Amino acid sequence: MNYKETIEYLFNCAPLFQQVGSSAYKEGLETTYLLDEHFGHPHRNYRTIHIGGTNGKGSTSHTVAAILQAAGYKVGLYTSPHLIDFRERIRVNGRPVDEQFVIDFVERERNFFEPLHPSFFELCTAMALLYFSQEKVDVAIIEVGLGGRLDCTNIITPDACAITNISPDHTQFLGTTLQQIAGEKAGIIKPSIPVVIGETTPETRDVFNEKASSVAAPIHFAENENLLLSAQIHGDGFLYNTIEYGNIEGELGGEYQIKNTNTILSLLKILREQGYNIAAEHVRKGFSNVTSLTGLMGRWQRLGTNPTIICDAGHNVGGIKYIVEQLARQKYETLRIVFGMVNDKDINSVLSMMPKNATYYFTQATVKRALPSESLAEQASVYYLKGKCYPGVPEALEAAKREASPNDLIFVGGSCFVVADLLSSLQGCK
């Protein structure tokens, strides 16, 4: 098989959650442990850092990776989902996993894993952990896929872990209350391993304290440490004033990056105490060069001017909340929103938050979970959101651009898959 055939095989033999949703979810770690044993526990050959949470874990993971790269470490980075190419999930110093490694892994190991019927994410995780070992990374940043307690990344023993925040998402698996969701996310807290909690609510703080206490894990609440003194808009990103590193230019835009930064600063403090050689210059370089160092895309990403075009992969209530607040602070003549969602999110809660002063271009991503644009438009009308329907993201964006004046703002989002289709079309991948 060539690379394209190999990826199609992976998608077909192990259902991809981002495509089909709950039918691809596989509870429990039994298969993960079998895969890990088969490959010789490769994650024991390098240091790891585990990052979970509902929102912000992707940006946090990429930023920490960028800082460690700037400090001279060889860094593995495992994240999900991918936006354009599967190889985005597995990177070493920002470089995606080699196509040939993916091909060889499948061809060499399929006779072992096919009888196990692993989920797509189980197979990807095993592949990533093995690749990092073969590449002899110094440290790997491992992002939790879904939840924490039963997530297949939870077999690692990290130097430290971080949980960014808790908000409702994947409630069919993680629970319907913040306490239940926090309990699942807290499952990555391990005996004697320090953990940073980025944000808490009255419902979640006790959950984290109880879990950390039960396993004697040092717990640090970033919102109490206040290592970030202030943040102000600086270009498309932010200028941060910090206690330990002075002023830092943050490349990533989006109001939620302020919370992420506070979490990252607390995590860096722990890593330095553990002997990581991280100086102020490394922190500054990492924060200001995240996208070039790691390949991160889709976080309040500016794609055009006159009119301004911005996309963001935020896709649940917590993520959309920050996006709506940021849209309200932008200057424009007309706000135009290219918008699509998947069918297993809290659609009504998201729609109730969306700006009513915008012109909407309802669309759907090319995944099975995508909510048909007509259904989305019908539900949106209940909240006085008005616009036309388009069969795909490129068509919706082209319509918005045709109707826009140079001073308008076009925002594309609602789902990471909408952003994925957008970026793929701009790169000529579809």
Walking along the chain (430 residues) 10 residues at a time, the average pLDDT comes out as: 93 60 60 96 98 92 98 97 94 98 96 91 96 98 90 96 78 69 92 96 91 97 95 93 97 92 98 97 98 95 95 86 91 97 89 96 92 96 97 97 97 94 80
In angstroms, the CA 402 to CA 132 distance is 46
Domains of the chain, CATH where assigned: 3-294 (3.40.1190.10), 301-426 (3.90.190.20)
Alpha carbons 77 and 79: distance in angstroms, whole number: 6
Q: In this predicted structure, what is the pLDDT of residue 428? A: 65
pLDDT of the residue at 343 = 87
Which helix (H) or strand (E) covers residue 196, if one does?
strand 195-197
User: How far is Cα 70 from Cα 157, in angstroms, rounded to an integer?
Assistant: 24
Q: Which of 326, 325, 294, 310 is nearest to 60 (CA)?
A: 294
Rounded CA-CA distance 208/219 in Å is: 8
pLDDT, position 344: 80
* Closest to 267 measured CA to CA, from 158, 144, 138, 161: 161
Q: Are 32 and 47 in contact (CB under 8 A)?
A: no
Structure tokens at 51: 């990052």
Q: How far apart are CA 343 and CA 350, in angstroms?
A: 12
Q: What is the CA radius of gyration of the chain?
A: 21
pLDDT value of position 23: 44
Q: The tokens of 222 are what?
A: 């970033």
Residue 26 pLDDT: 54
Starting at the edge strand found earlier in the chain, the sheet holding 160-163 runs 95-96, 90-92, 75-78, 139-143, 47-52, 160-163, 195-197, 219-221
In this prediction, residue 395 carries a pLDDT of 97
Structure tokens, 294: 């790691």
Query: Cα 343 to chain center, whole Å?
Result: 19
Q: Please tell me the predicted confidence (pLDDT) of residue 314.
A: 85
Contact of 165 with 124, CB cutoff 8 Å: no
Within 8 A by CB and 6+ apart from 285, the residues are: 66, 67, 70
> What is the pLDDT at residue 185?
92
Report yes or no on whether pTM surpasses 0.75: yes
Tell me what pLDDT residue 20 has.
Answer: 43
pLDDT score at 264:
98
What's the confidence (pLDDT) of residue 430?
A: 45
Report helix angle 280-288 to 57-70, nearest 10. Answer: 130
Distance CA 267, CA 11 (A): 35
Q: Are 43 and 156 in contact (CB under 8 A)?
A: yes
- Rounded Cα distance between 400 and 389, Å, is 11
Would you give the DSSP letter of residue 305?
T
> What distance in Å separates the CA atoms of residue 237 and residue 255, rounded to the nearest whole number?
9
Between CA 276 and CA 253 the distance in angstroms is 27
Helix, coil or strand: residue 53 = coil
